[in-house]
């Protein structure tokens, strides 16, 4: 156990009690690291003033059927790997991830204050930034559902991409989406908020942009990649064509040799 001084949220000076955690979240891991366990719902509640750190080369796993709530005011620092198949409602805590953060297809992560991605984030489940700040300075791969929502007053900035985002799933932007890095969309992005496209926002062939994509909701421009009009034949389909081309001259010779003279 480590005691450290922090300011989370920044408006409140708070002394945090820190724990280095790894393994699979269950009643033992929860209670040994400052949390309280509810066996009825298989849930771990982390109270205010707790900090969890996942060290490099270690993994924290939230299995399917297990949920974590909190810390209400605290900190999460990931230097290793966090794998979420269950659910985690981080609430009003700063969440820094320099390692690998994975949300599996059955998993869900809800942040309401700050989520800072310096490493990699992969979401094939459900991710929601609710009135908070989600900053991607690493790589963000979304094949699931990502919801970015907030209100003009009383919320943090929204989603800011300084790194690389590749979307093959669904993104619902109901607040602010600001791009200073690269966004490649192969899936669907729905917008009812504000989008600052930056210099490298690419809607690839097959990508769908739904909702409000003109001024004043869109600042800047989006590069639309046209779909190729040249048909692409599967390799297997070329076999009969190649065989026919090779046999055609031989068929002509055979036809001549069996022809009846005039």
The pLDDT value recorded for residue 92 is 83
Does any domain span residue 258? no
The pLDDT value recorded for residue 153 is 72
DSSP conformation letters of 7-51: -SSTTS-EEEEEEE--EE-SHHHHHHTT-EEETTTTEEEPPTTEE
Where the chain has pLDDT below 50, the residues are 1-8, 10-11, 235, 237-238, 241-248, 251-260
Q: Which of 58, 63, 105, 104 is nearest to 77 (CA)?
A: 58
Helical residues (DSSP H) of the chain, grouped into ranges: 27-32, 235-257
Secondary structure of residue 156 in the 3-state scheme: coil
The pLDDT value recorded for residue 167 is 98
Does any domain span residue 69? yes
The pLDDT value recorded for residue 11 is 41
Q: Please identify which residue in the block is written with the tokens 């800072």.
A: 116
Does any domain span residue 246? no
Does any domain span residue 255? no
Does any domain span residue 196? yes
Range of the domain at 87: 2-233
The pLDDT value recorded for residue 228 is 82
Does any domain span residue 259? no
The pLDDT value recorded for residue 4 is 44
pTM reported for the whole predicted model: 0.83
Domain total in the chain: 1
Does any domain span residue 66? yes
Instruction: Please tell me the number of Cα atoms within 13 Å of 111 on its side-chain side.
Output: 26
Does any domain span residue 61? yes
**Sequence-ordered list of residues with C-beta below 8 angstroms from that of 122, at least 6 positions apart, any chain:** 100, 101, 102, 103, 140, 141, 143
């Amino acid at each position: 156990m480590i005691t450290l001084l922090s300011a989370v949220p920044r408006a409140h000076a708070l002394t945090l009690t820190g724990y280095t955690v790894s393994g699979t979240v269950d009643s033992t891991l929860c209670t040994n690291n400052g949390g309280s366990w509810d066996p009825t719902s298989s849930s771990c509640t982390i109270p205010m003033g707790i900090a969890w750190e996942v060290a490099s080369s270690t993994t924290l796993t939230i299995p399917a059927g297990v949920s974590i709530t909190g810390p209400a005011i605290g900190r999460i620092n990931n230097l290793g790997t966090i794998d979420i198949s269950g659910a985690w409602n981080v609430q009003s805590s700063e969440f820094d991830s320099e390692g690998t953060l994975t949300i599996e297809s059955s998993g869900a992560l809800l942040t309401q204050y700050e989520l800072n991605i310096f490493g990699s984030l992969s979401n094939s489940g459900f991710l929601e930034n609710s009135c908070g700040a989600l900053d991607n300075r690493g790589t963000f791969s979304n094949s699931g559902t990502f919801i970015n929502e907030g209100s003009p007053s009383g919320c943090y900035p929204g989603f800011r991409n300084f790194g690389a985002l590749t979307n093959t799933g669904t993104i619902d932007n109901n607040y602010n989406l600001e791009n200073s890095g690269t966004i490649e969309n192969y899936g669907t992005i729905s917008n009812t908020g504000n989008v600052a496209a930056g210099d490298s926002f690419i809607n690839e062939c097959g990508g769908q942009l739904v909702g409000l994509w003109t001024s004043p909701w869109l600042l800047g421009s989006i590069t639309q990649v046209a779909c190729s009009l040249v048909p692409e034949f599967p390799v297997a389909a070329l076999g009969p064509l190649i065989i026919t081309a090779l046999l055609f001259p031989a068929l002509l010779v055979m036809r001549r040799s069996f022809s009846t003279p005039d």
